[in-house]
Chains A and B, each alone.
Chain A
Amino acid sequence: MSTTFSWNLARDLALIWQYAFERHAFEAGTVIAIVAGVIGYFVVLRQSSFAAHALSHIGFAGAAGAVLMGLQPLWGLLAFTSGGGVAMAALGRRAAGRDVQIGTVLAFMLGLGALFMSLYKGYATEAYSILFGQIVGISQQAVLVTVAAGLALLAAVAVMYRPLLLSSLDEDVAEARGLPTFGLGAAFMLLIAIAVSIAVQIVGVLLIFALMVTPAAAAHRMARRPARGILISVVIALLATWSGIFISFFLPVNASFFIVTITFAVYSAVRTWQWVRK
Chain B
Amino acid sequence: MKSSLLKLGLLCALLGTGSFRALALDGVVIANDSVSVTTLTPAALKDIYTGNTKYWDGGQSIALAYMGDKTDAAIQQASGMDTSAFKTFWQRLAFSGRGQQPKKADDAAALVALVASTKGAIAIVPADAALTGVKTIEIK
Is chain B found bound to chain A in the same assembly? no
